Structure 1
Amino acid sequence: MQLDVMTLPQPLGQIGELARQTQAAGFSGLLFTEGGRTAYLNAAIASQAAPGLELSTGVAVAFPRSPFVTAATAWELQEATGGRFRLGIGTQVRTHIVRRYGADFDHPGPRLRDYVLAVKACFAAFRSGKLGHHGDFYDLDFITPQWSPGPIEAADPKVDVAAVNPWMLRMAGEVADGVHVHPLGEPGYLARHVVPKVAEGAQKAGRSPSDIAVIVPAMTIVGDNDEERHNERQFVRASMSFYGSTPNYAFIWDEAGFEGTTARIREKQKAGDFAGMAAQITDEHLAAFATESTWDELADKLIGKYGGVASRVVLYNALGAPERFERYGEIARQIQSSQSR
């Protein structure tokens, strides 16, 4: 189990220093979750600033970019990192794809499955000079030497997909190299859905479930006294209410024993009451969906919660005060040390 840091892409002049700090602190990697800035440009800067640091997009939006464009970008990043880049992609939601990006969104699950296969076909074409992918959504069969980046020494980039519902999790196990679990992915959800559904997909494709990386974001509330943990509790409440407002994710709350949480959050959201949204996340929600501990207990708690399930745990809220970031880095070193014994 590796411990990574999650960040929104930063201004390009700042990301190099963050990459160096992440590597020096002891984390395994840096994960860029795409927002208003592009994940790929940040990854490119980080690859040069901190050689040896593992980098991934977690996740970049797929559909507004053609599979060939995404594949070529990932190929260059894989070369720049010496084989330490993972391509993480996701569908986003219809409103963003159609109204913000102006791209197609129909049949997002099957479209993403075809997209992954098309990206992998492009990787093969960069080595062989022959492109041949004929899917339900993407039909690619033309490449010339001048429009190919050509072979690289590193292996093909791993392709991970964001998945929440059972169909998407099975699809990830069938065609992807890893799955990005939703930030609301508490241990019960991992056991009920992620592990068995990914295994079903892998077995359908004749693959071993152990070959599929499970990448889990972890929201943490850490401090040696209640006052120290208070501000992080408030941050986590706001973050959970944001993710928990999406109707498609309501079943995660419901199955964990918090029925109606999404409906209550959306009622406040429609009224523009952001403080009210966060207030719907109770201490009981935090206990189930976040990891709260003292600093001395955190490494053991993360191993106990995610060990044997997660290939990579991504700290959702490690960034902040420098001294806290350094302490999170110490946790990363402890986890790595405990697993090497």
Structure 2
Amino acid sequence: MHVDVMTVPQRLAEIGALARRTQAAGFSGLLFTETGRTPYMNAAVASQAAPGLELLTGVAVAFPRSPFVTAATAWELQEATGGKFRLGLGTQVRTHVVRRYGTTFERPGPRLRDYVRAVKACFAAFRHGRLDHHGEFYELDFITPQWSAGPIDAPDPAIDVAAVNPWMLRMAGEVADGVHVHPLGEPGYLARHVVPNIAEGAQKAGRSPNDVAVIVPVMTIVGDSDQERDAQRENVRASLSFYGSTPNYAFIWDEAGFEGTTARLREKQKAGDFAGMVAQISDEHVAAFAVESTWDGLADALIARYGDIATRIVLYNAVGDPEHFERYGEIARQLTA
């Protein structure tokens, strides 16, 4: 099991230090989300600051960038890391894609499947000089030597996709190298949906489910005193209220025994009552969706919860307190050993 650190992209002047700390602490890799800053520039700086550290986008927004641009960027990062870059892609949601990025969002699942195949076709073209992808959404069939990055001394970058619903999970099992599970991925959801749907997609493509990495972000509440854990618990409660307000994720809450949670959160959200949203998240919600432990018990707690499923665990809230960061690194060393 690999253990990574999740972070939002930082100022470029700051990310090198975080990459070095991450490597020195004992984590497998550093995973960059995409928010107001892009993950790719951060990954480039990190690759030079901490050679050998695995770097992941988790996830970069696909549709605003052409498949060729994404492929070329990933190719350079794979070369810079010596083969330790994983390209994580996601659809985002319609409002962001249409109104913030100004691009198309129709049929996002099939479009992302075609996008992944198009990126892989670009990788092949960089090696062999022939671009030949003819999909439902993307037609790519022209490349000349001066517009090709050329071969690199590393395997093609792995491509992981963010998936929540069963169709997307099956698609990921069919065409991707890994799946980024949503932070709401509690063990019941992983067993009911993630594992069987990835397996079905992999079977359709004639390959083993073991070929598909399962990348699971984990919210943790860790401390050796109630006081230490209380503040972290409230931060997790706020995160769950944010994620839980998305209609597409309602089925996860319902199946976990919290039926109607999303509807109640959305009612508070529409009223602008953000404190009320947080108040809808009970201690039972937190226990179901986060791992709470003492420091000595955390490694065993993570193994018990995710050891049979996760290829990579991504610590959602490790960045912050420097002392805690080092202690999380000790846990990472235990799990990767």
TM-score by length of structure 2 reads 0.99
Q: Distance in 2 between matches of 1:252 and 1:270?
A: 21
| 1:157 partnered with 2:157 | yes
Q: Where does residue 331 of structure 1 map in the other structure?
A: 331
Partner AA of 2:191 in structure 1: A
Q: Where does residue 248 of structure 2 map in the other structure?
A: 248
Q: Distance in 2 between matches of 1:68 and 1:133?
A: 11
Partner AA of 1:273 in structure 2: D
| 1:135 partnered with 2:166 | no
Partner AA of 1:201 in structure 2: G
Q: Distance in 2 between matches of 1:123 and 1:269?
A: 43
| 1:272 partnered with 2:272 | yes
Q: Where does residue 211 of structure 2 map in the other structure?
A: 211
Q: Distance in 1 between matches of 2:77 and 2:143?
A: 20
Q: Where does residue 68 of structure 2 map in the other structure?
A: 68
Q: Which runs of 5+ in 1 are unaligned?
A: none
Q: Where does residue 184 of structure 1 map in the other structure?
A: 184
Q: What secondary structure sits across from 1:86 in the alignment?
A: strand
Q: Where does residue 106 of structure 1 map in the other structure?
A: 106
Deviation per CA, 1:72-98, whole angstroms, max 9, x where unpaired? 000000000000000000000000000
Q: What secondary structure sits across from 1:156 in the alignment?
A: coil
Q: What secondary structure sits across from 2:200 in the alignment?
A: helix
Q: Where does residue 9 of structure 1 map in the other structure?
A: 9
Q: Distance in 1 between matches of 2:190 and 2:147?
A: 42
Q: Which runs of 5+ in 2 are unaligned?
A: none
Q: What secondary structure sits across from 1:214 in the alignment?
A: strand
Give how far 1:135 is off: 0.3
Give how far 1:225 is off: 1.0
Q: Where does residue 301 of structure 2 map in the other structure?
A: 301
Q: Distance in 1 between matches of 2:320 and 2:7?
A: 11
Q: Where does residue 285 of structure 1 map in the other structure?
A: 285
TM-score by length of structure 1 reads 0.98
| 1:94 partnered with 2:112 | no
Q: What secondary structure sits across from 1:88 in the alignment?
A: strand
Q: Distance in 2 between matches of 1:334 and 1:9?
A: 27
Q: What secondary structure sits across from 1:296 in the alignment?
A: coil
Q: Distance in 1 between matches of 2:272 and 2:40?
A: 33
Q: Where does residue 262 of structure 2 map in the other structure?
A: 262
| 1:236 partnered with 2:236 | yes
Matched residue count = 337
Partner AA of 1:123 in structure 2: F
Deviation per CA, 1:312-335, whole angstroms, max 9, x where unpaired? 000000011100111100110111
Partner AA of 1:155 in structure 2: P
Q: Distance in 1 between matches of 2:325 and 2:281?
A: 25
Partner AA of 2:202 in structure 1: A
Q: Distance in 2 between matches of 1:67 and 1:47?
A: 22
Deviation per CA, 1:6-32, whole angstroms, max 9, x where unpaired? 000001100000000000000000000
Partner AA of 2:6 in structure 1: M
Q: Where does residue 318 of structure 1 map in the other structure?
A: 318
Give how far 1:149 is off: 0.4
Q: Distance in 2 between matches of 1:45 and 1:245?
A: 34
Deviation per CA, 1:35-60, whole angstroms, max 9, x where unpaired? 00000000000000000000000000
Q: Distance in 1 between matches of 2:336 and 2:241?
A: 32
Partner AA of 2:125 in structure 1: A
RMSD: 0.5
Partner AA of 2:185 in structure 1: G
Q: Distance in 2 between matches of 1:170 and 1:336?
A: 28
Q: What secondary structure sits across from 1:320 in the alignment?
A: coil
Q: Distance in 1 between matches of 2:17 and 2:275?
A: 33
Partner AA of 1:144 in structure 2: T
Partner AA of 1:112 in structure 2: L
Q: Distance in 1 between matches of 2:286 and 2:96?
A: 28
**Aligned runs of 1:78-89 on 2, under 5 Å?**
78-89=78-89
Partner AA of 1:70 in structure 2: T
Q: Where does residue 125 of structure 1 map in the other structure?
A: 125
Q: Identity percentage over the alignment?
A: 81
Q: Where does residue 36 of structure 1 map in the other structure?
A: 36
Q: Distance in 1 between matches of 2:166 and 2:336?
A: 31
Q: Distance in 1 between matches of 2:148 and 2:206?
A: 31
Partner AA of 1:148 in structure 2: S
Partner AA of 1:6 in structure 2: M
Q: Distance in 1 between matches of 2:68 and 2:265?
A: 39
Q: Give structure 1 regions of 4+ aligned residues with deviation exceeding 6 angstroms.
A: none
Partner AA of 1:171 in structure 2: M
Q: Distance in 1 between matches of 2:165 and 2:102?
A: 25
Partner AA of 2:81 in structure 1: T
Deviation per CA, 1:291-322, whole angstroms, max 9, x where unpaired? 00000000000011111210000000001110
Q: Distance in 1 between matches of 2:167 and 2:195?
A: 13
Give how far 1:276 is off: 1.3
Deviation per CA, 1:177-219, whole angstroms, max 9, x where unpaired? 0000000000000000000000000000001000000000000
Partner AA of 2:136 in structure 1: D
